[in-house]
Structure 1
Amino acid sequence: MNYARTALLLAAMTGLFVAIGWMVGGQSGMVVSFLLALAMNAFAYWNSDRMVLSMYGARQVDSNSAPGLHAMVARLAGRAGLPMPKVFIIDSPQPNAFATGRDPEHASVAATTGLLNLLSPEEVEGVMAHELAHVKNRDTLIMTITATIAGAIGMIAQFGMFFGGSHRNDENGGSPLGAVGMLLVAIIAPMAAMLVQMAISRGREYAADAEGAAICGNPLWLASALARLDAGVHAIPNHRAEANPATAHLFIVNPLAGGAVDSLFSTHPSMANRIDALRRMTAAAPPPMPPRGFGRRRGPWG
């Protein structure tokens, strides 16, 4: 997905938010929704990284507390031409990782203890390269803004269902829709927002896989990591992610329960498709690394 299409999808998401404001509160509701969208985007721009990291209890590490991981990220960042991001570890048995931050100068990458215990150093390098690709492509800001607006659309649609749809007309500042219309809005609007969010997220995942493979220098490291992570997230739940599903698209692998196909409502592309695309990037793909079991530490992560 190119940046022009991403910009159009973001505009569509904002337009949907404003339209729902009109449905809930008429012209005054439309104005309030537009101002609220601007305020939320500004808030997400400056504070989204701290919110997400705090939500998952991430702890920052350095060259003393996690020498291997910190040195690996520094090496990959230099190879990608990026400033050194902050590095975090999340105490979670589910193997996963994500990146956040409004720009490369204020970026953070986070990996779970489950990921560091499960993967080989080469596979961890592939995952960290993928996350740095998101930073390089500025996907972290794009995906955070979409999550913020999508969550707000669901909130305002529910608000309209309970408090809108009265007999008041648009001239009095009420909803131009009736109770049945507001019920339909409450059902359809969040689904439409989710579809736009998924279209943005899934396209950026394919781009980050390709860029990450180029950064780490071996597409099969990332392909092997994705296969292992896919099995891990289905075996081990992530309760914090389940409580905050709007953040699921930030992770390299969907932390929520889901199918293996490119379903319409999946935050991530099919894992088989992602792995096949990575394997096609190398002329002679050796067989994937054999499973080594859960719970074994593979590097000096600290």
Structure 2
Amino acid sequence: MAGDRFIPDRGLTVRMVATMALLALVYAAFVVALLWVGMPWWLVLLVVVGVALVQYFGSDRIAMTALGAREVTERQDPELHAVVDRLCALADMPKPRVAVARTDVPNAFATGHSGRSTVVCVTTGLRRRLDNVELEAVIAHELSHVAHRDVAVMTVAAFLGIVAGFLVQAGMRFAFLAGGGRSREGGPAPAVVALLVVAVSAAVWALSFLLTRALSRYRELAADRAAAHLTARPSALSSALTKISGDMARIPTRDLRQVEPFNAFFFAPALARGGFSLGSLLSTHPPVERRLAQLAEISRRIGREA
């Protein structure tokens, strides 16, 4: 449940439940299809369950390690902890762990599958560019992800695509090495089985990709709404979003590519300059213009109610 002061979002809840239900159906069909094409049951169990456990229980450590983030105590960073403490008290929610990533990419993210593992992390590049009010608005956005538990849902939702992507790569390599000879039992050639696994895995990856992308875009809009109402300063979040999006183009392409795999969890996507976009259907975030328009409407509404 979200904290008492975070506005409830029935649309987000419905979308999370629907996405998880659809992914569960895709997951079941995936396992059946792998068994049907001849993949040994023990290998299916090892890959699917193994990756699921690593993804679920190790997501926070994986993200922290990949981004070079480290947890900081109140003594090490009293200013950052003071912001998180104030917002958690305002939202009436437990305080997550706090971390800092030493990178000039201006961003923030939340990760973790449960209360104890949840981490809210900001980059040094973000803190250098934003004032205190803007930083508070961004952290409120990330805390709303934690309060609404969509961080855990996205962690679970992402694992199916990871499994499918792994099997696509492994299957292609195996098919190349196995050749076209038939199996000893007279069944289909190992290369044929491997290519069938690749085909099934690719279809599953595409479905899970589209489902999680749709949920990711909505959760960002929901977090913007929740943060704007919690802080009562939609303009601060708009200002932070404008600064971050504008400065992202000045970050070296190499640095952006290093963090791009974590776009779905970022406050704003890290996009390499000159990159080709396949459109909003494949994006992890809604367009900046849509986010700013929503915040402007919330600001007008708050102004009328004041």
Same fold (TM over 0.5): yes
Corresponding position of 2:231 = 216
Q: Secondary structure, in 3 states, of the residue corresponding to 2:141?
A: helix
| Cross-structure match for 1:82 | 93
**Cα gap change, 1:209/1:175 in structure 2, threshold over 3 Å: closer, same or farther?**
farther
Q: TM-score, normalised by structure 1?
A: 0.80
Q: Deviations over 1:247-284 (max 9, x none)?
A: 22111111133678952211111111111112111226
State the distance in 1 between where 2:120 and 2:238 align. 19
Q: Distance in 1 between matches of 2:32 and 2:291?
A: 35
**Any idea what the Cα deviations from partners look like across 1:52-86, whole Å, max 9, x if unmatched?**
11111112222222221110011111112221111
Task: Give the counterpart of 1:280 among 280, 294, 297.
Answer: 297
> Could you tell me whether the CA contact under 8 Å between 1:97 and 1:251 is conserved in 2?
yes
Aligned to 2:3: none
SS at match of 1:46: helix
Specify the alignment match of 1:204 in structure 2: 219
- 1:133-212 alignment runs, 5 A limit: 133-164=144-175, 167=182, 184-185=199-200, 188-212=203-227
Match of 2:38 in 1: 26
Counterparts of 1:44-123 in structure 2, within 5 Å, are 44-123=55-134
Residue equivalent to 1:231: 246
Question: 3-state SS of the aligned residue for 2:299?
Answer: coil
Are the equivalent residues in 2 in contact too, given 1:20–1:156 (CA < 8 A)? no
**Tell me, what secondary structure is at the counterpart of 2:300?**
coil
What letter corresponds to residue 33 of structure 1 in structure 2?
Answer: V
Distance 1:99 1:231 in 2: 22
Gaps of 5+ in 2: 1-11
1:127 CA drift (Å): 0.4
- Alignment check: 8 A CA contact 2:259 2:270 kept: no
* Code of the aligned partner of 1:192: L
- 1:119-171 C-alpha deviation (Å, 9 max, x unpaired): 11111111000100010111222222233321221110222233259655999
Q: CA RMSD in A?
A: 3.2
Q: Which residue of the partner structure matches residue 40 of structure 1?
A: 51
Q: 1:5 aligns with which of 15, 18, 34?
A: 18
Q: What secondary structure is seen at the aligned counterpart in 2 of 1:109?
A: strand
CA displacement at 1:108 relative to structure 2:
0.8
Query: Unpaired segments of 5 or more residues in structure 1?
Result: 287-302
Measure, in 2, the Cα distance between the counterparts of 1:120 and 1:260: 31
Deviation at 1:197, TM superposition (A): 2.3
